[in-house]
Amino acid sequence: MNYLKCVVKENFRLHPPAPLLAPRETTASVKIGGYEIPAKTRVFVNAWAIQRHPSSWDEPEEFVPERFENNPVDLNGQDFQFIPFGFGRRRCPGLALGLVTIEYLIANLLYWFDWKLPDDGGLPEDLDMTEVCGLSVHKKFPLHVIPILSCSVVPLNL
């Protein structure tokens, strides 16, 4: 289960549920990176770009779940290089429930099923992982896989 949690975190790093976090408004004038941002300015935080920044991650475009093994970086919004659900008081209130649900769902799908590509001659290397950005991010072309029941289900007679 520890490796599954690393896979989920890496997936959220590369593909945050919302690429732009909820807008925030500055309360006072501030200078960041040489830019003067006046008070009452609406600011949009680009979580997608932050989580792929080369100064925070080695090989930021690669899917490497092992980077979260023995790594204190967490989803709670305390580590600003990894904020898929926001940070501070305005982070997603459903974070804990959503994370448990995703981990439970993926664990069951991997436990009960083996997965294969359709027999149309496609290879795993040919999968198109292109994304379409909007309010949320989704795949441009749906992923088609075939589930094969891997465990025999034995009904319980009570």
Binding residue ranges = 92
Tokens 């009570």 correspond to 158
**Strand, coil or helix: 123:** coil
Contacts of 104 (CB under 8 A, 6+ apart): none
Handedness of CA 103, 109, 115, 118 (dihedral sign): negative
Among residues 83, 65, 106, 73, which one has the least CA distance to residue 24? 83
Q: Residues marked as binding for heme?
A: 92
Give the pair of three-digit tokens for residue 144: 């088609």
Using CA atoms, how far apart are residues 132 and 11, in angstroms rounded to an integer? 16
The helix (H) or strand (E) run that includes residue 43 is strand 42-43
